[in-house]
Chains A and B, each alone.
Chain A
């Protein structure tokens, strides 16, 4: 797992810069401060990756002397620096260069004209009834397996895995269905379709993450009973895979949300320019 502890923090450090470069710069709506913010992002990323490389190199020379640093950096500060780089630098640069990544207008914003769909959404889920039935059946099996494993003496915290389905699968999915829908005053079908795609994606992802999370925890509980020697490794692999899957899901949802936001802004601009163009 040493290779993993070297590469994963590096990936986490470089990801914000990579994503911001991938998102690009809007040719018209990028703000002037984007260049300066990108410079800061480059600087902090280079500094963090330099520290990471230095730590890896130094701990290679004398693993015993650098034991504490070797333990603390990869699992703590190295991956933790992602939060600082992403939220402190990359998000600002991203939003300055691509306004689509700014938050969707708050329905409570001072916009005087507000629109809403008259179609009930709370009860219209893209996840069909059969999938919910299967999800609850799998949850029942996982609950049985986890309960059995607990009786064999595995750590009781593994029961938290059942909360994945209940919290993320059921409530998370439901919450994504009831989120306020952004609409333009003309009721653009293009915007409604883009929002519908985002909503459907989120509902399915929450469903999938909840289900897989519960299955993973139940599997780790059962593995702990039959092969306690590999339980730690399997838990680490499952936890990392879950974290990466969550990151990918969040990033893809952000990209889709950015498309919706960009479309909303474009429609707003079009509407604002409409009368002027015809006059």
Chain B
């Protein structure tokens, strides 16, 4: 399931990208699974089709999804590269996110709760 917040500072297209990335990472969506059509997702979320279309194009640019004739947008095979570079990139992003959390007034236990929850969601289906 994908949830977006209209009142969040993050653009809607970015929220959709993050939501679908999360669904792929957590194995809610597996390689070969079809995504909803742009029309369906836009109707369900009550947002403009161009926003969903922009999000799908961004996902396609990263290689996470691809357009297959007759099937629409499908999840591509996962690229599990791993390695030292990926860990360094992640470390920098985690620090950035945690800094945001502290600057926005969240305390350590609340932040740990959120991070643990996210880890539990994404690694729910090993």
Contacts and interface: CB of A to CB of B under 8 A. Distances in A.
B43 A113 contact: no
A183 interface: yes
B5 A112 contact: yes
A111 B44 CA distance: 13
A115 B6 CA distance: 11
A178 B28 CA distance: 22
B7 interface: yes
Contacts of A43: none
A118 B46 contact: no
Prevailing SS type, chain B contact patch: mixed
Given A108-B46, A178-B43, A181-B44, A118 B35 contact: yes
Nearest to B36: A120
A112 B45 CA distance: 10
Q: How large is the interface on A (under 10, 10 to 19, 20 to 34, 35 or more residues)?
A: 20 to 34
A193 to B, nearest CB: 14
A39 interface: no
A112 B6 contact: yes
Interface string A81-112: 00000000000000000000000001111011
A120 B72 contact: yes
B17 interface: no
Contacts of B7: 112
A107 B45 CA distance: 6
Interface in B30-46: 34-37, 39-41, 43-46
Contacts of A123: 34
Contacts of B28: 118
A107 B20 contact: no
B36 A116 contact: yes
Residue picked from B1, B2, B37, most chain A C-beta under 10 Å? B1
A180 B23 contact: no
Prevailing SS type, chain A contact patch: loop
B3 A118 contact: no
B37 A114 contact: no
A121 interface: yes
A122 interface: yes
B45 A187 contact: no
A117 interface: yes
A120 B37 contact: yes
Contacts of A185: 3
A111 B45 CA distance: 10
Contact of B36 (A107, A111, A119, A179): A119
Contacts of A118: 1-2, 20, 23, 28-29, 35-36
Residue picked from B7, B40, B43, most chain A C-beta under 10 Å? B40
A116 B1 contact: yes
Interface of B: 1-7, 20, 23, 28-29, 34-37, 39-41, 43-47, 72
6 contacts: A114-B3, A114-B5, A115-B4, A118-B23, A118-B35, A180-B44
The 9 A-B pairs at the shortest CB distance, nearest first, are namely A107-B46, A116-B44, A187-B1, A180-B43, A108-B46, A112-B7, A115-B3, A114-B45, A120-B34
